[in-house]
């Protein structure tokens, strides 16, 4: 019974979360209750909690995590500058003449917006408000329209610069070093956020290409579901010049952020500051930067950043108590005894993360689950870049999957009444199939994630 206490702790946290309590306090509070009860029963050594101050201090001085508020600021500022609106209008005018063209425009704008903000909720809500009324007015099938918006909105999980890749990079870096030390490697190799950024580029762009191919095929097979925009309704600007004019500012900002990392000129944290300043300059050129906008953006950034770091603190406490009950050894023994060896262990971990994605956000999964399973999987010889990209893709798929996918909830909140929940569920099914295809391709060919980092950064 005592050896199962780590699992009971994990189950209790899930129950508390389902009851609606804030994540950070659910993690920390439940862990403290179990630690107190375990110490009374002689199953938990309270000396484990003595390590908490050092962990919290480590969070405070972690330079990598400074990128989080900077990227959040960049995304919120770009959202307030309404760059996506002009870009969507220009691309819809250009591609709208073909069946599925408006859907392709929404996908590409969603990709750029996701890369700019890195926040799934912000991207889905923004694209839902901007493009869903337009697509419905152009007689798009509501299921297809909502599927496109949900799928393109979750691209912020995998296309850099991405908040989840920043957090994953930090957590996997510690897990990678721990795995090497456990194997007796006293000069461990390092993993950086930049490695994950580069590793996610090819899988992310391939995913966008598969989305576009699906819409092209749908336009040929079922043109009535994705009709072309009538010529008289396309308006002016249906040329490449208008697209380039609308595309250049956000693309230049993304290239400045990624280019400074890939070129070795800046760390991800420094590149995030480039993105934050660049977003302010773009807002200023559009006459959207004023004291009120700056106040709103700063307040929203503070709220989101506070949430992230409170969850990180709660997860640190949860992790200590989980290890104090012997949870890491329990998980290690379970995975090492799985049939199929390393492949079986990876499949089980990915399945568990996929299911947890129904009830936990990516931040909780990154801070709670990855530190537990990461060192075990990496000690089995897995490439940390490949593992990080697989986790990001897996969580992206989970956030799309009915009935509990987060992206579905975000869109449901801004969709008009005539768009039913069933329509949203049906619309995302083809994109879930594409996600699973991409996961399978990455599992069969890990070089999709590992080749580019080794060419650029090694």
Q: Which residue's entry shows tokens 């986790």?
A: 391
- Residue 447 has a pLDDT of 93
Q: What is the mean pLDDT of residues 344-350?
A: 88
Measured distance CA(195)–CA(385) in Å, rounded: 7
Mind listing the pLDDT tens digit for each residue in 75-99?
A: 788 777 777 777 777 777 777 778 8
Q: What is the mean pLDDT of residues 10-33?
A: 82
| Residue 9 to residues 28, 138, 310, 315, 320, Cα–Cα distance (Å) | 11, 51, 19, 13, 12
Mind listing the pLDDT tens digit for each residue in 155-205?
A: 878 888 777 888 888 889 888 888 887 777 777 777 888 888 889 999 999
Mind listing the pLDDT tens digit for each residue in 225-269?
A: 888 877 665 555 456 676 677 778 877 887 888 788 777 788 878
284 vs 82, which has greater pLDDT? Answer: 284
pLDDT beyond 80 at 103:
yes
- Residue 235 has a pLDDT of 53
Measured distance CA(339)–CA(202) in Å, rounded: 31
If pLDDT is split at 50, 70 and 90, which confidence band does 413 have?
Answer: confident
CB 129 within 8 A of CB 414: yes
What's the CA dihedral at 17, 23, 24, 30 to 10 degrees?
Answer: 10
CB 388 within 8 A of CB 131: no
Contacts of 140 (CB under 8 A, 6+ apart): 102, 103, 225, 226, 227
Count of CA atoms in the C-beta half-sphere (13 A) of 238? 17
CA angle (287, 290, 291) in 5-degree steps: 175
**Exposed e or buried b per residue across 166-201, where buried means at least 16 C-beta atoms within 10 angstroms of its C-beta:** bbbbbbbbbbbbbbbeeeeeeeeeebbbbbbbbbbb
Check residue 161 and report its DSSP letter: S
CB 354 within 8 A of CB 340: no
């Amino acid at each position: 019974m005592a050896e199962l206490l780590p699992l009971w702790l994990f189950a209790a946290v899930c129950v508390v979360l389902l009851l609606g309590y804030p994540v950070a306090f659910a993690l920390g509070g439940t862990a403290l209750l179990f630690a107190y009860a375990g110490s009374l029963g002689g199953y938990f050594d309270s000396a484990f909690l003595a390590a908490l101050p050092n962990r919290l201090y480590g969070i405070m001085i972690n330079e990598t995590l400074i990128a989080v508020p900077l990227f959040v600021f960049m995304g919120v500022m770009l959202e307030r500058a309404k760059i996506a609106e002009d870009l969507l209008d220009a691309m819809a005018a250009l591609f709208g003449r073909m069946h599925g063209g408006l859907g392709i425009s929404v996908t590409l704008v969603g990709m750029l917006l996701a890369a700019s903000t890195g926040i799934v909720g912000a991207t889905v809500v923004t694209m839902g408000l901007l493009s869903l009324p337009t697509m419905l007015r152009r007689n798009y099938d509501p299921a297809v329209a909502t599927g496109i918006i949900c799928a393109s909105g979750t691209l912020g999980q995998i296309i850099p610069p991405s908040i989840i890749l920043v957090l994953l990079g930090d957590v996997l870096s510690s897990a990678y070093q721990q795995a090497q030390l456990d194997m007796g490697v006293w000069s461990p190799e390092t993993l950086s956020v930049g490695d994950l950024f580069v590793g996610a580029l090819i899988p992310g762009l391939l995913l966008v290409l598969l989305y576009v191919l699906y819409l092209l095929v749908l336009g040929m097979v079922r043109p009535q579901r994705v009709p072309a925009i009538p010529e008289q309704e396309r308006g002016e600007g249906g040329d490449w010049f208008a697209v380039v004019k609308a595309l250049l500012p956000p693309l230049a900002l993304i290239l400045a952020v990624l280019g400074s990392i890939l070129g070795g000129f800046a760390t991800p944290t420094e590149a995030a500051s480039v993105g934050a300043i660049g977003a302010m300059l773009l807002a200023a050129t559009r006459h959207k930067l004023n004291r009120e906008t700056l106040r709103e953006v700063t307040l929203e950034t503070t709220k989101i950043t506070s949430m992230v770091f409170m969850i990180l603190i709660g997860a640190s406490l949860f992790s200590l108590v989980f290890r104090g009950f012997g949870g890491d050894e329990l998980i290690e023994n379970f995975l090492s005894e799985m049939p199929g060896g390393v492949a079986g262990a990876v499949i089980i971990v990915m399945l568990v993360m996929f299911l947890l994605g129904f009830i936990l956000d990516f931040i909780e999964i990154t801070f709670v689950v990855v530190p537990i399973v990461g060192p075990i999987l990496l000690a089995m010889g897995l490439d940390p870049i490949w593992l990080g990209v697989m986790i990001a893709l897996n969580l992206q798929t989970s956030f799309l999957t009915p009935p509990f996918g987060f992206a579905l909830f975000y869109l449901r909140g801004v969709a008009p009444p005539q768009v039913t929940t069933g329509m949203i569920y049906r619309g995302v099914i083809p994109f879930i199939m594409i996600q699973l295809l991409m996961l399978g391709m990455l599992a069969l060919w890990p070089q999709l994630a590992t080749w580019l980092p080794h060419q650029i950064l090694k």
